[in-house]
Structure 1
Amino acid sequence: MQYDKALFETMSIPKAVAKNSIPAIISMMVVFIYNIADTFFIGQTGDELQVAAVTLAMPVFSLFIGAGVLLGIGGTSLISRSLGEGREGYAQKVSAFAFYAAIVLGLLMTVVFWTFMPTLLKVIGVSPDTIDHTRSYLTYLAIGAPFIIVSHTFSNIVRAEGKSTLAMKGMLLGTITNIILDPILILGFDMGVTGAAIATVIGNLFGALYFIVYLVSGRSILSIRFKDFQIADGVMFGVLAIGIPASLNNFMLSVANVFLNNFLMSYGDVQLAAMGVAIRANLIMIFVQIGLGQGIQPLIGYSYGAKHFDRLRGIIKFSVITAVVLGSVLTFIYWIFADMIVQSFIDSEEVVTYGTEMLRALIISGPIVGIMFIFINVLQGLGKVIPSLILSISRHGLVFIPLLYLLDAYAGLSGIIYTQPITDILTVIISVVIYLIVSRGLVDHKAKR
């Protein structure tokens, strides 16, 4: 029962980043497949209203993932710093807290969503044509809230002990299950969006069980034993201090999508469906960068906890360069094949036309957007609460929503389409400024030592 100490302390920086980030990137591709599987197979029905319903439900699914991010990223940051400081027993208390908190939070969200479903449907902006499909999808999806949260919590936390490949395998198990069930339930049994929701729930159940089996097998330094559960001694506060800013990114994504969907509804269901397809298609670019950032976060936290400041700065420099190279390559590929990518999601000429324009707009910021995700994860790994909070709410909140109102007023649908790339460019600038301020503190800290 030992974590991968060589990964954190002696392995070369490029190799350590690759070892932890490649499985994390693959895991994010798995999340991407989760996101597109429902849309792809529902798109094969040729029913644009069902595609629009899944688009409308996306903010709700993001809330479930956000709860997993809250506990997972918060737990990972605290555990990696604790391991760097040599406090293995404390790390076990953190992982046990995250496990039981995930179960309780999931059950609460299930009850709340079922109870307030009519209000929820109004908030996310359903139309008379999409309300039945959206209600059906969300009713079944809510059942899986505990499984979704546990799965996403521990796909993050096991990376804190250097088990990035294991995290990838857990996500793969859930995704493969979902992909197998989607065509059977959606098309074979003609269940449409209901079948998509059931497949998603079962897939996440399998993923959650995979992590639970690993954690009770004795192969992990972490614990989910109830005797290790603790909220005192800074455990709950330490998780929430970083977890809340991290999850706010998902929460603000949900809020931003609700705003975006409501703006698009005034232009029609076709435009709404097209943006839903474009956003999902763009997730490859975004998730590659998020995966790179999540892969380095445990390395950052451990190096900071162990006071290895030179290694910490080396990891950041290498990761920023890697993010720019990856972003540039993906942007080029997306631009060339945009129409083919969109067409693979849905067979509707009008949706494809709008979707292609929207996708090309979204990728304008592609070469540099990864810098923002690197610095978000750096701040989380360092345990910097306020800077992390500011950056987390900027992309989908402080910058995006005001820009959405402004550009819609002055440029209509075109303004809405270009809101996200402009937001990304501004947020990258904000992230660089915040990191430069924080990094001066690291230099001062090292000098004092």
Structure 2
Amino acid sequence: MAKKDFTQGNVLNHILVMSATSTVGLLAIFGVDLTDLIFLSQLGDHDILAAIGFAGVILFFTQSIGIGLSVAMLALVSKAIGQANEAKMKATASNIMLFSSIVAVAIALVTFPLLDQLLAWLGATGRAAELAYRYSAWLLPFFPVMVIATSANAIVRALGDAKRAMSMMLAGALVNLILDPIFIFYFEWGIEGAAMASAAARVTMACFALYAVLKVHPMLARINWQHFRAEAGMIARFALPTTLTNFATPIGMALLTYKLAEIGTTAVAGSAIISKITPVAFAVFYSLSGAVGPIIGQNVGAGQYPRVIDTLKTSVKFSCAYTAVLWLLMVVSLPYILMLFGAEGQVAEVVSAFCYFAIPLTCAMGALFVANAGFNNMGRPGFATAANFLRNSLGVIPFVWLGAEWFGAEGAIVGFSLGGFVFGVLAIFYCIRLAKSRLERQLLAEMKDAN
């Protein structure tokens, strides 16, 4: 398999090409949740929107674990592919698939009996809490199915079949789009119907993904239990840092949701709309870390730190340009967005504050993701974990609490983005500084060798 050379050519072109297919796949995943909310909002019930907001935080925690496991699959299988050892490649893929499935089942079994308590900790009460429980109770058992889908998808991406990896996610999104109106409106199952449609979408993704790794690219082998036990520790050590890094974001969302719940159900309902719009609107940013990672990694390996610095700076410029265009589109489209979700009163005020004031600050989210890729590929994964946890703790509590105190729910939403802006700027600044220090040491070493 030919390897793409990122040590030459236009950096911006590499970034755009690498981001494209990944963004489409992410849009399919995030679009499933957004579709649920769009259809549910037509019921005109703010308690349902708030329930999606509360349930979304809990499901986001489990999703972060799934992402960490899929990243481990992608990295370790890619390494095995590079060693050109087919038996090792299949054994590694099978072991990670089994490991991921065991972890996912354990997480679902532990989380399910705690749902009531977790929702109470988030500030959910009354009917919103009851609806959030029913939605989560339907989807949580399908968490292992989703992990199987994302793990198998990672195998396909590691093999370089990006088109097939993207198509299996699109298939799930299509199933959700078809079933949502049928289950919600025709059968009148409401929020539980939306959960059933999402569950069906996850099963569809898993079926397509398993077909790909069993038939199209036969990559799964019979488990050797001795080999599995020997490799399980390595898989855990690799997956844990990535999972911890991803875990920071739902912690920040939980803190924001808790504060909004103190203000009222309509504030959480507005936040639920924002939380589903944001991943779709900024899917490019979510894909950016994975897109620039190979570019930075190859140039670090080649010792081309000027291109590493150029990649970091170009990625930030791209993030700012994308945010500026998106801001304009969202402001112009705001009346239609409010109409689409049936948002009125405080719900509309919260969404409007996000579109007018929070989106411009979100450019730093792209900078943070790029910094994470830079830290990981320069051998400093701990810096990425620290940056994410600082952003979702010190970058949330004072900003959200003061924003809520001074300006209510709208202030909390803008404060959340302002905190992200501050820590995103600090992270990318330090990442560029790290690359420059590596370049300086490299130049000094070359001067010594020349003398």
Q: TM-score, normalised by structure 2?
A: 0.86
SS in 2 for 1:17: helix
CA offsets per residue over residues 309-343 of structure 1, 9 Å max, x none? 66655544443332222222112212232232233
Tell me which amino acid in the other structure corresponds to 1:396: N
1:246 aligns with 2:254: no
Is 1:285 matched up with 2:304? Answer: no
Q: Which residue of 2 aligns with 1:179?
A: 177
Mark the CA change 1:311 to 1:266 in structure 2 (over 3 Å): closer, same or farther: closer
Question: Would the alpha carbon gap of residues 201 and 224 (structure 1) be closer, same or farther in structure 2, given more than 3 Å must change?
Answer: farther
CA deviation vs aligned residue, 1:67-122 (integer Å, no higher than 9, x gap) = 12111223434555666687887665553343112211221122112222332232
Which of 434, 437, 443 aligns to 2:439? It is: 443
Alignment of 1:361-376 (within 5 A): 361-376=357-372
Aligned counterpart for 2:423 among listed residues 419, 424, 427: 427
Larger radius of gyration: 2
Quick one: which of 327, 330, 333 aligns to 1:334?
330
For residues 142 and 239 of structure 1, the distance between their equivalents in structure 2, rounded to whole angstroms, comes to 22
Which range moves more in the overlay, 377-386 or 57-66?
Answer: 377-386
Deviation at 1:133, TM superposition (A): 1.0
Q: How does 1:404-415 map to 2 (within 5 A)?
A: 404-415=400-411
Which residue does the alignment assign to 2:397?
401
Structure 1: which amino acid aligns with 2:120?
K
Q: 1:307 to 1:257 in 2, by over 3 A?
A: same
> What are the residue-to-residue correspondences of 1:190-269 with 2, within 5 Å?
190-217=188-215, 219=217, 226-227=223-224, 230=228, 232=230, 236-237=233-234, 240-241=237-238, 243-269=239-265
Give yes or no for contact 2:245–2:384 (8 Å, CA) kept in 1: no
Aligned to 2:449: none
Identical aligned pairs, as a percentage? Answer: 20
| SS state at 1:418 partner | helix
User: Contact conserved, 2:350 with 2:410, CA < 8 A, in 1?
Assistant: no
Letter in 2 for 1:287: A
- In 2 relative to 1, CA 407–379 (structure 1 residues): closer, same or farther, beyond 3 Å? same
Residue 335 of structure 1 aligns to which amino acid in structure 2? V
In 2, the alpha carbon distance for the partners of 1:318 and 1:64 equals 33
SS of residue paired to 2:16: helix
CA-to-partner distance for each residue in 1:368-422, whole Å, 9 max, x for gaps? 4322222223333445321121122132223212332343344443431221221
- Counterpart CA distance in 2 for 1:444 and 1:214 is 46
- Structure 2's unaligned 5+ residue stretches are 447-451
SS at 1:116's partner residue? Answer: helix
Aligned to 1:325: 321
Q: Which amino acid aligns with 2:223?
A: F
Q: 1:315 to 1:214 in 2, by over 3 A?
A: farther
Quote the residue 1:124 is aligned against: 122
Determine if contact 1:81/1:301 at 8 Å carries over to the other structure: no
Instruction: Confirm or deny: 8 A CA contact 1:282 1:359 kept in the other structure.
Output: no
Whole-angstrom CA distance in 2 between matches of 1:416 and 1:212 = 43
With over 3 angstroms needed to count, the CA separation of the structure-2 counterparts of 1:145 and 1:267, relative to structure 1, is: same
Offset of 1:363 from its aligned partner? Answer: 0.4
Letter in 2 for 1:149: V
Cα pair 2:305 2:436 within 8 Å, conserved: no
* Aligned mates of 1:283, 1:169 — CA distance in 2: 19
RMSD of Structure 2 on Structure 1 (CA): 3.2
Distance of 1:253 and 1:34 partners within structure 2: 20
Structure 1 contact 50–130 (Cα < 8 Å) conserved: yes
Name 1:159's counterpart in structure 2: 157
- Give 1:132 deviation, angstroms: 1.9
**Contact 2:23–2:284 (8 Å) recurs in 1:** yes
Gaps (5+ residues) in structure 1?
none
Give, as a single letter, the amino acid of the residue that structure 2 aligns with 1:72.
S
8 Å CA contact 1:328, 1:366 repeated in 2: no
Report how many aligned residue pairs link the two structures. 444
- Mapped to 2, the partners of 1:350 and 1:316 lie a distance apart of 39
SS class of match (2:337) = helix
**How far apart, in 2, do the equivalents of 1:131 and 1:275 lie?**
16
- Which residue identity does 1:326 align to in structure 2? Y
The residue identity in structure 2 corresponding to 1:394 is L
C-alpha separation in 2, matches of 1:213 and 1:28 = 20
Of 182-191 and 383-392, the range deviating more from structure 2: 383-392
For residue 340 of structure 2, what is the aligned residue in structure 1? 344
Q: Name the structure 1 match of 2:30.
A: 32
Letter in 2 for 1:33: G
- Map residues 42-53 of structure 1 onto 2, 5 A cutoff: 42-53=40-51
Distance 1:238 1:312 in 2: 28
SS at structure 1 position matched to 2:263: coil
Q: Which residue of 2 aligns with 1:385?
A: 381
- Cα shift at 1:293: 2.4
Q: Secondary structure at the match of 2:123?
A: coil
The question of whether the paired residues in 1 share the 8 Å contact of 2:28 and 2:170 is answered with: yes
Higher mean alpha-carbon deviation, 39-48 vs 211-220, is at 211-220
Contact between 1:327 and 1:368, CA under 8 Å: does it hold in 2?
no
Q: Distance in 1 between matches of 2:373 and 2:222?
A: 28
Cα contact 2:7–2:302 (8 A) shared by 1? no
Stretch of structure 1 that moved more, 176-185 or 336-345: 336-345
Partner Cα distance (1:46, 1:273) in 2: 11
Q: Deviations over 1:228-250 (max 9, x none)?
A: 964646x7446644x43433344
What is the CA-CA distance between 1:252 and the residue it aligns to? 2.7
